[in-house]
A and B are shown apart, each in its own frame.
Chain A
Amino acid sequence: MRVRRFIERPRVFALLLIAPALIFFFVWNIIPVLTLIGVSFYNYSMVTGMPPRYIGLGNYEDIVYSFRLWESFGRTLSWVVVTVGIETVLGIAIGILFWGSVRLPGRRLALTLLFTPMLMTPLAAGIFFRLMYEPSIGIINYVTRWAGLGTFSFLSDRSLAFAAVVFVDVWMWTPFMVLITLAALGSVPKAELEAAEVDRLPWWRRLVTVVLPHAKFILMIGILLRTIESFKTMDLVFNMTGGGPGTTTELVALTLWRRAFEAFNLGWSSALAFILLLMAIAFTSIFLFVLNLRRRQQEREASA
């Protein structure tokens, strides 16, 4: 009886309800992150069988002085800006087109086909496009040769490789932004849209004054998710170019993978993984802060 009463206390009951989630979070998130931080202070190779050797901040110092790694960070930043930028612009444009064409015949089929690339695993998409880009047997080069443009080594030419991989990422993830845009546009109140129509506002003013203020939050969530995903891109690049030619397409997640599972240097890669985690947290916090700026401002104005 006492136990039951204890359990039924509001605070205890709430704690019990969230306990499974907390345990899961602790076991699968907190413990691995703490282990990761611990390993980052050691010179530790996964495969030599030698005991880990404590080296303090040695791995972090190495990372600071690793010019190649900073180049890789720079490349990743370009990658994020270019891919997320193109996907956002294209996604919003295509989303608006679909939004405004409710009665278009075959709309549902077109939308289903449009979303297909997003459902593919990056590994499959990588293999698919690697074959299409192939200089001798690839269909893209077949077309360029047929058009008299010659043969292009899309994935081996330093001037083309980055763009070729960006194209595949855009092909895969623009549908995601279309989906987000459609969801965002769906959140715009019909009454306001009808009022704008009655007021005969031009389309761009309707977009800026009615649609965007309502759709902004969902769009920002979409951009945030894509930014974080884009920052972590590894499998697509690994499969298409392996980071090459040279390091032309080597993103920071691939560098991390190489150090961890090619060179088996767990200490160094744990330090880098921890830095990346901090960067992702900082980035998300800034993003959310900016996203909520206007709301906070409105709240301040309202309370004043």
Chain B
Amino acid sequence: MSTRTSLWTWSRLSSRLALCLLLGAVMALSTSVAQEAHPLEGESIDMTILGIGGWVPSSLGAEMANDLFKPFALEEYGYDVTFTFDAAPFAALFQRAAASLATRSNEYNIIISDSQWLGALSEPGWIVNVDEIIEEHPELDIEWYSEIVGVGYQEYPMYSGIRWGFPQAGDVVVMFVRRDMLHDEAERAAFLEEHGRELPYDYEDFLEMSYGEFEDIAAFFTRPDEGLYGHAFQYSREYDFLSMWMYPFMFSLGGDIGDFEDENRVYGILNSEVNARAMEINRAWQQYMPPGAINFGIAEIIDLFTAGQVFSAQQWAAVGPAMIPEDLPEEFDVMVVPPPGLIQDDGSFNRLYNVGGQPWVINAFNTPEQMRVAIDFMRWWYLPETQMEYARRGGSPSDAATLNHPDYEDMKPWNRAFKFMLQDDNARDFYREPTYAQLLSTQQEAWHAFASGEIDDAMNTLEWIACEQQKILFDSGASEIRPPAECRQVRLR
């Protein structure tokens, strides 16, 4: 009894002590906060984020701003901020942002931009150079998961070290496959009999898989009579959809698209034999896809995969929540793996895909109050707990701390492949010149004409793109290299 009494007394004493310590800490904290009162304390501020319509990572960012940052700011800084989310589709977003920024408007305080727009937005001084912000707030000098994250989402020119944004959503191409079909005994036996080797079984089996090997699997599951096809990826002419799947074939095969870091040269680099070969391989994959592949974009791939019309599909990891929705039929067991690579001329295996994703950029015409909130918001966004919450909600952070967290890979089915594909060996980004829209539109037109079969000569298609893009760069003053005289004779046909 006496032992119990003394234990009870001891526990009461220790809980009182703990309470005193907590109160002391709170008082000390409030004194320090009172000493450094936030300049916006007591104010109400409205902020607008412009993002991509129908794009989960964009809407998640805005959703978290109101759900989590608003109470955080009220508690920590004493001001009341309300965020409004304005959105437009990929193809229209830049026009919306640029039209507003060109009038020096602060209509959109924070913009979820595409990394390719960094040049066009920064050259006229429309967005803030975040180097100064990072210098003032060193906690924003985040350690990213890989070099391409910083280079891709922050820098213009690429590899210059000059930063214009913060990664909002990292993104890479991953492959969604129907594990239930791969594990089906009858399918395994049939494939073994047909090809003399086993169907892949788990994630590891896809790590070194080339398009050559994967083609057998895609062909095996292509059964038009049953309404089933082996594979799907994007060929749509909309925005950069087709380019995002043409580049990986070129990069993986050892080709390049131009020198945009030094002299802005396209002609002589893009129009190479290896790139022409990559285009042929890319186009040939339509035979394993459902009819109408030439118009497949992000939404079509989601529809096809969730409707069970394809065995596998390549898609942006950020679209994971839509590719594996909660109402997916029970028999669908989906595994997310790295997409295939290509065997280069020297026999080596190479897998090099584009990064997707978007950075946050801050409007340079914000009022000092809006600027302060934008910075507070960034500091909050990159807190480890915020990034973990973002990942938990299906977002795609790209900082090293979150991606290396022991729980990260198991949070969502696509996280493991996302992390793998975000490594520097597997991902790269492409040009971000102010004339980006013109350069992109040119290649989308030509590659779509080739992919649709309207044009058959891959090399001639590349010649035409290279001539046009070199002319765009030369005319805009971005390059001193004129397109060669023979470009006058090059016609896309």
Spell out A's residues near B (CB within 8 Å): 43, 45-50, 55, 65, 67-68, 134-136, 151-153, 155-156, 158, 241-248, 258-259, 261-265
User: Which of A46, A50, A152, A245 is the one whose CB lies under 8 Å from B448?
Assistant: A245
Question: What are 7 A-B pairs with beta-carbon distances under 8 A?
Answer: A43-B476, A47-B102, A136-B291, A136-B304, A153-B292, A156-B294, A156-B295
Q: Is B434 an interface residue (CB 8 A)?
A: yes
Question: In the assembly, what is the distance between CA of A68 and CA of B464, in Å?
Answer: 11
Assess the B454–A247 pair: CB atoms within 8 A. yes
**Which residues of B are found within 8 Å of A155, using beta-carbon distances?**
292, 295
**Which residues of A are found within 8 Å of B98, using beta-carbon distances?**
46-47, 49, 264
**Which residues of A are found within 8 Å of B95, using beta-carbon distances?**
46-47, 261, 264
User: Which of A43, A55, A245, A258 is the one whose CB lies under 8 Å from B295?
Assistant: A245
**Which residues of A are found within 8 Å of B123, using beta-carbon distances?**
48-50
Q: Is B449 an interface residue (CB 8 A)?
A: yes
Shortest C-beta distance, A71 to chain B (Å), equals 8
Assess the B124–A49 pair: CB atoms within 8 A. yes
Assess the A50–B124 pair: CB atoms within 8 A. yes
Given A67-B492, A262-B437, are A48 and B476 also a contact pair (CB < 8 Å)? yes
Q: Which residue of B lies closest to A141 (CB)?
A: B291
Assess the B491–A246 pair: CB atoms within 8 A. no
Assess the B438–A264 pair: CB atoms within 8 A. yes
Q: Which residue of B lies closest to A58 (CB)?
A: B475
Q: Which residue of A lies closest to B455 (CB)?
A: A246
Assess the B292–A248 pair: CB atoms within 8 A. no
Assess the A244–B448 pair: CB atoms within 8 A. yes
**Which residues of B are found within 8 Å of A46, using beta-carbon distances?**
95, 98-99, 102
Assess the B475–A244 pair: CB atoms within 8 A. no
User: Which of B91, B307, B438, B491 is the one whose CB lies under 8 Å from A45?
Assistant: B438
- Enumerate the 9 nearest inter-chain pairs by beta-carbon distance, A residue then B residue, closest first: A49-B124, A246-B454, A245-B452, A246-B449, A246-B452, A47-B98, A135-B291, A263-B441, A48-B434
Shortest C-beta distance, B94 to chain A (Å), equals 7
Count residues of chain B with CB under 8 A from any CB of chain A: 47
Q: Is B290 an interface residue (CB 8 A)?
A: yes
Q: Name B367-417 residues within 8 Å CB distance of A.
A: none
Q: Which residue of B lies closest to A154 (CB)?
A: B292
**Which residues of B are found within 8 Å of A65, using beta-carbon distances?**
488
Q: Name B459-493 residues within 8 Å CB distance of A.
A: 475-476, 488, 491-493
Q: Which residue of B lies closest to A48 (CB)?
A: B434
Name 17 extra pairs, CB < 8 A, besides A156-B295, A242-B295, A246-B452. Answer: A47-B95, A49-B101, A49-B126, A67-B493, A68-B445, A136-B227, A136-B292, A151-B291, A242-B237, A244-B294, A246-B450, A258-B445, A262-B91, A262-B437, A263-B438, A264-B437, A265-B438
**Which residues of A are found within 8 Å of B441, using beta-carbon distances?**
258-259, 262-263
Shortest C-beta distance, A133 to chain B (Å), equals 9
Question: In the assembly, what is the distance between CA of A152 and CA of B441, in Å?
Answer: 29
**Which residues of B are found within 8 Å of A55, using beta-carbon distances?**
475
Question: In the assembly, what is the distance between CA of A261 and CA of B239, in Å?
Answer: 11
Assess the A136–B309 pair: CB atoms within 8 A. yes
Assess the B475–A43 pair: CB atoms within 8 A. yes
Q: Is B244 an interface residue (CB 8 A)?
A: no
Question: In the assembly, what is the distance between CA of A43 and CA of B471, in Å?
Answer: 12
Q: Name B200-252 residues within 8 Å CB distance of A.
A: 227, 236-238
**Which residues of A are found within 8 Å of B161, using beta-carbon distances?**
none
Q: Which residue of B lies closest to A134 (CB)?
A: B292
**Which residues of A are found within 8 Å of B54, using beta-carbon distances?**
none
Q: Is B293 an interface residue (CB 8 A)?
A: yes
Q: Is B125 an interface residue (CB 8 A)?
A: yes
**Which residues of B are found within 8 Å of A245, using beta-carbon distances?**
294-295, 448, 452-454
Question: In the assembly, what is the distance between CA of A45 and CA of B295, in Å?
Answer: 28
Shortest C-beta distance, B309 to chain A (Å), equals 6
Q: Is B173 an interface residue (CB 8 A)?
A: no
Q: Is B120 an interface residue (CB 8 A)?
A: yes
Q: Which residue of B lies closest to A62 (CB)?
A: B471
**Which residues of A are found within 8 Å of B435, using beta-carbon distances?**
45, 48
**Which residues of B are found within 8 Å of A68, using beta-carbon distances?**
445, 492
Shortest C-beta distance, B104 to chain A (Å), equals 10
Question: In the assembly, what is the distance between CA of A264 and CA of B488, in Å?
Answer: 23
Question: In the assembly, what is the distance between CA of A245 and CA of B453, in Å?
Answer: 8
Question: In the assembly, what is the distance between CA of A156 and CA of B475, in Å?
Answer: 35
**Which residues of B are found within 8 Å of A151, using beta-carbon distances?**
291
Assess the A48–B309 pair: CB atoms within 8 A. no
Question: In the assembly, what is the distance between CA of A155 and CA of B293, in Å?
Answer: 10
Given A135-B292, A156-B293, A242-B237, are A248 and B452 also a contact pair (CB < 8 Å)? yes
Question: In the assembly, what is the distance between CA of A135 and CA of B309, in Å?
Answer: 12
Given A242-B237, A242-B238, A246-B449, are A50 and B454 also a contact pair (CB < 8 Å)? no
Assess the B292–A47 pair: CB atoms within 8 A. no
Shortest C-beta distance, A206 to chain B (Å), equals 49
Question: In the assembly, what is the distance between CA of A136 and CA of B454, in Å?
Answer: 23
Question: In the assembly, what is the distance between CA of A263 and CA of B304, in Å?
Answer: 30
Question: In the assembly, what is the distance between CA of A187 and CA of B345, in Å?
Answer: 77
Assess the B120–A48 pair: CB atoms within 8 A. yes
Question: In the assembly, what is the distance between CA of A43 and CA of B475, in Å?
Answer: 8
Shortest C-beta distance, A259 to chain B (Å), equals 8
Shortest C-beta distance, A63 to chain B (Å), equals 14
**Which residues of B are found within 8 Å of A158, using beta-carbon distances?**
452-454
**Which residues of A are found within 8 Å of B440, using beta-carbon distances?**
263
Question: In the assembly, what is the distance between CA of A266 and CA of B147, in Å?
Answer: 36
Give a binary string over B307-321; 1 marks a CB under 8 Å from any A CB, 0 the rest: 101000000000000
Question: In the assembly, what is the distance between CA of A158 and CA of B450, in Å?
Answer: 12
Assess the A49–B102 pair: CB atoms within 8 A. yes
Question: In the assembly, what is the distance between CA of A245 and CA of B452, in Å?
Answer: 6
User: Which of B99, B237, B455, B493 is the one whose CB lies under 8 Å from A243?
Assistant: B237
Question: In the assembly, what is the distance between CA of A176 and CA of B227, in Å?
Answer: 41
Question: In the assembly, what is the distance between CA of A46 and CA of B99, in Å?
Answer: 8
Question: In the assembly, what is the distance between CA of A67 and CA of B491, in Å?
Answer: 7
Question: In the assembly, what is the distance between CA of A46 and CA of B235, in Å?
Answer: 27
**Which residues of B are found within 8 Å of A136, using beta-carbon distances?**
227, 290-292, 304, 307, 309
Assess the B476–A135 pair: CB atoms within 8 A. no
**Which residues of A are found within 8 Å of B102, using beta-carbon distances?**
46-47, 49
Q: Which residue of B lies closest to A264 (CB)?
A: B437
Q: Which residue of A lies closest to B304 (CB)?
A: A136
Assess the A263–B227 pair: CB atoms within 8 A. no
Which of B99, B292, B449, B488 has the most C-beta atoms of chain A within 10 angstroms of its own C-beta?
B292
Assess the A50–B238 pair: CB atoms within 8 A. no
